[in-house]
Amino acid sequence: MKGKKMLIVALILLVFVTFGATAQNYSDALSKAVMFYDANKCGPNVANNNVFSWRGACHTQDGSDVGVNLNGGLHDAGDHVKFGLPQGYTFSVLNWALYEFRSALDQAGTTNKLIAMIKWMGDYILRSKSGSRFYYQVGEGEADHTYWGPPEEQTNNRPTYAYADSSHPASCVLGNTAGGLALAYLNFQGSDSTFANQCLTLARDLYNMGISNVGASNGQSFYQSSSQYDDLSWAATWLYVIDGNQSYLDDIYEYLQKPTRNGDIPLNQNHWTMCWDDMGLAVCTKLAMLTGRQEYINVVEENLRYWMNDITTTPGGMKFLDSWGVLRYAAAESMIALLYYGHTGNQAYYNLAKSQIDYILMGNPANKSYEIGYGSNWALHPHHRAANGYTYANGDNQKPAKHELTGALVGGPNQSDQFTDDVNQYQYTEVAIDYNAGFVGALAGLIKYSGGIVSTPAPTTTVTNAPTASPVQTAVPGNLGDVNGSGTVDIVDALLIAQYYVDLNPANFNPAVADTNCNGSIDIIDALLIAQYYVNLISGFCL
């Protein structure tokens, strides 16, 4: 029995070290992640500058029912609706990635591709304002979801479903989109002043619409916003960057103290992350960097502390926020962590981001890439009608996709690191424009701080304590991980912890220094962390 336990321990550690030590090519992953957006283009000119030969013109009459040209933009996910909230969010986050990490995009050789996509989306958004109305949804979600097939063959008329004006509030969509437009102004003012100035004019217009008629948008049952004030704050943040008007900061401080429909107050605490429904953390991150105000610093550092220490974590190391599209949240949090790492230099934030992106890129127990087309083992059944290429007839839609959806981030596995590659299990296999947005930003951030192709974490190899906001760290012994007292932390220490975990009672074992993630228990994750430390994937413990 003891021999079997030892064999299990050795195999576990071998698997952990093997998948943990895989070198990742972040530049390749980033280039592919940007390519993905070509698959979700909509309109008559889809084939232009498109990496996917299987995509072509579709939905060429969008907006004709209201007399407005609403061609362009992006399908939301595996469906073909153009929803306002995720479209505005994606436009914002891609622009933010370009604004903060342009040198990394240059290094990956994908700047021009991202610029082209941002302008594709921007042109659609600019056309969406007609007179006193801003149109933000084309297609009716329930009807659209009854169709399975390529968008090029979807011939039914699509209604212009939702718009904002003085009688129809949509502050969430307006604020989120306005923030992206303001960022587009900052990104393009030196290279395309006409486009940049159009974006800035509309950004101010949409922000004023949003604050003059405050209320939630109509996203049907698919995108119901829990608050509009985080989105208005997002717009005000970037208008402040442009104008330097103190009134924007005053507005933000007021907005972030308003409770959401869930009863949360963003300026008190935020354990969620940046997403289409919550820009509060993104706002606080940028304002902490811009203003140095302690209120914003506290929000960001408490959020990062929670993600490092308290959030549910799978055995393989994935941070598990929500079961539907879990990796979009891990990716978005990674972008936030890297932005704040660049501001503070705290290695723990870099390590958090790297661990999550590496998990996505085959650094997981299944040795699977959750980015399609990266590595050698990825999802074959993404929930994406254009890539799937089949219809419901004879259950053909359940076959492996006809076309490779290169660069798409799929939803990801469950809390046990198990992934179900089934087109109908969309919590695992769905892809969406908002999923990839934070992923693009995180990859660009990792390239900026690691050099693009890495097998060891940059920039230091010294043991670093977690932020001072975490009370757990103050009692960490200086020889944490050195359970046999040899003076070094190596694979032998990992093996001893694994033995201890399966009740083999190893000799020369000091449990006081074995809890390497400081969660109050000694388990196989502590052995994994030592194995990762041994192969230079992390630079310290309790991070």
CATH of the domain at 390: 1.50.10.10
How high is the pLDDT of residue 372?
Answer: 98
Q: Count of CB atoms within 10 A of residue 534's CB?
A: 21
State the Cα–Cα distance between residues 516 and 538, nearest whole angstrom: 12
Same domain, 3 and 111: no
Same domain, 14 and 64: no
Selection from 23, 40, 22 nearest residue 406 by Cα: 40
Same domain, 403 and 509: no
Domain ranges, residue 522 = 1-21+456-543
Selection from 371, 389, 391, 390 nearest residue 379 by Cα: 371
Same domain, 433 and 483: no
Active site residue 75: no
How high is the pLDDT of residue 326?
Answer: 98
CATH number for the domain including 10?
1.10.1330.10
Amino acid at 456: T
Helices (H) and strands (E) in the chain, counts: 18, 5
Active site residue 417: no
How high is the pLDDT of residue 543?
Answer: 54
Same domain, 357 and 462: no
CA distances from 179 to 89, 121, 145, 531 (A): 9, 14, 30, 43
The DSSP-derived string for 482-523 is: -TT-SSS--HHHHHHHHHHHTT---SS--GGG--TT-SSS--
Length of the chain: 543
Amino acid at 147: Y
Same domain, 443 and 391: yes
Residues of the chain with confidence (pLDDT) below 70: 1-23, 451-478, 535-539, 543
- Indicate the helix (H) or strand (E) that contains 6: helix 2-20
Selection from 537, 421, 444 nearest residue 29 by Cα: 444
Contact 443, 26 (CB under 8 A): yes
Same domain, 12 and 28: no
Q: Which residue, of 431, 454, 477, is where some domain finishes?
A: 454
Active site residue 430: yes
Give start and end residues of each alpha helix (H) in 213-325: 229-243, 246-255, 280-291, 294-309
Q: Which residue, of 405, 438, 454, is where some domain finishes?
A: 454
State the Cα–Cα distance between residues 330 and 336, nearest whole angstrom: 10
Per-residue pLDDT tens over the stretch 424-459: 999 999 999 999 999 999 999 999 998 654 433 332
Same domain, 391 and 461: no
Q: Which of 123, 421, 490, 523 is catalytic?
A: 421
Spell out where 131-251 has E strands.
Answer: 133-138, 160-164
Q: Which of 230, 371, 417, 430 is catalytic?
A: 430
Rounded to whole angstroms, the maximal C-alpha distance in the chain is 80
State the Cα–Cα distance between residues 277 and 206, nearest whole angstrom: 18
If one counts the domains in the chain, the total is 2
Contact 121, 87 (CB under 8 A): yes
Q: Count of CB atoms within 10 A of residue 203's CB?
A: 25
State the Cα–Cα distance between residues 229 and 302, nearest whole angstrom: 21
How high is the pLDDT of residue 492?
Answer: 81
Same domain, 15 and 58: no
Selection from 284, 345, 332, 356 nearest residue 441 by Cα: 332
Q: Which of 80, 383, 384, 417 is catalytic?
A: 383
Q: Which residue, of 408, 432, 454, is where some domain finishes?
A: 454
How high is the pLDDT of residue 9?
Answer: 54
Same domain, 447 and 533: no
Q: What angle do CA 421, 425, 428 make, to 5 degrees?
A: 65
Same domain, 9 and 78: no
Q: Which of 28, 79, 230, 251 is catalytic?
A: 79
Amino acid at 261: R
Same domain, 386 and 481: no
| Location of structure tokens 């039914």 | 156
Active site residue 421: yes
- Indicate the helix (H) or strand (E) that contains 453: strand 453-454
pTM as predicted: 0.82
